Amino acid sequence: MPYITTSDGTELYYTDQGEGRPVVFSHGWPLSSDAWRKEIKLVADAGFRAIAHDRRGHGRSQQTYHGNDIDTYARDLRDLVRALDLHDVVVVGHSTGGGEVVRYAAEYAEGRVRKVFTAGAIPPVMLKSETNPEGTPIEVFDAIRAGVLGDVSQYWKDLALPFWGFNRDGVPFSQGLVDDFWRQGMMASLVAAYDCVKAFSETDQTEDLRALDVPIFIAHGGDDQIVPIEAAALKTAEIVSKGTLKVYDGAPHGISGAYQDQLDQDLLAFIAD
């Protein structure tokens, strides 16, 4: 399996498919690059080079005790792009991966990024505060941490329901999606899964969004129960200078079904332009 070694000595697994201009994918918490398997094939089939890595502490990458924060994630992405000598890159991030690619493009891109695409992304900041009343209360994130430290195997199965919107009336249930969420979640180290909660909920990326000088496509499900749209995409669209916002009515946080079909069409159109 292919690996690169980051500047702090961490081994990151990645997959690399196709040829052409590069498109680099960053996954959400607590998943792995497997979450992008369909998009990797579609993008490679469309004539691009599709690359996706497992974030440190997740999937097949090294399980480190330190560095489970947005800035380190972004520097790891920089190291991957450097190691593969990629240029003219489109970076694509879902959820926490959206925060990762935004920080990377704003601070560490070194002129290599031409576009950014996010879906259900965490910026600008998820945590509720006096200056962010639309955010999510700290008690919700404390409950997530308690779930991770408790019966984590059952917690991933429980979390999969709102992640995919299966707790909503009329949404077709897929045991396969629940099982795959559990599988990927169980591959993450407990330290990484726990520490990443603070990373994705408390990192204020307002200045990252202001610093972006390339086009960004901001995709978000209208019924996202994990990263509510009011404190995320709607605010991001107001902050960035070259943003395109698209809300997918009734779509959840997890990318599947009709939502995935439409998102993939929009992604292919965005990277081809």
Point out the residues that are catalytic.
95, 224, 253
C-alpha to C-alpha distance for 187 and 193, rounded to whole angstroms = 10
Query: Which stretches of 89-211 are assigned E, i.e. beta strand?
Result: 89-94, 113-119
Which has the closest alpha carbon to 176: 160, 189, 165, 188?
Answer: 160
C-alpha to C-alpha distance for 124 and 235, rounded to whole angstroms = 7
Q: For residue 19, what are its two tokens?
A: 């040829």
Which has the closest alpha carbon to 91: 271, 219, 249?
Answer: 271
Q: For residue 179, what are its two tokens?
A: 């099982």
Q: For residue 249, what are its two tokens?
A: 């009515």
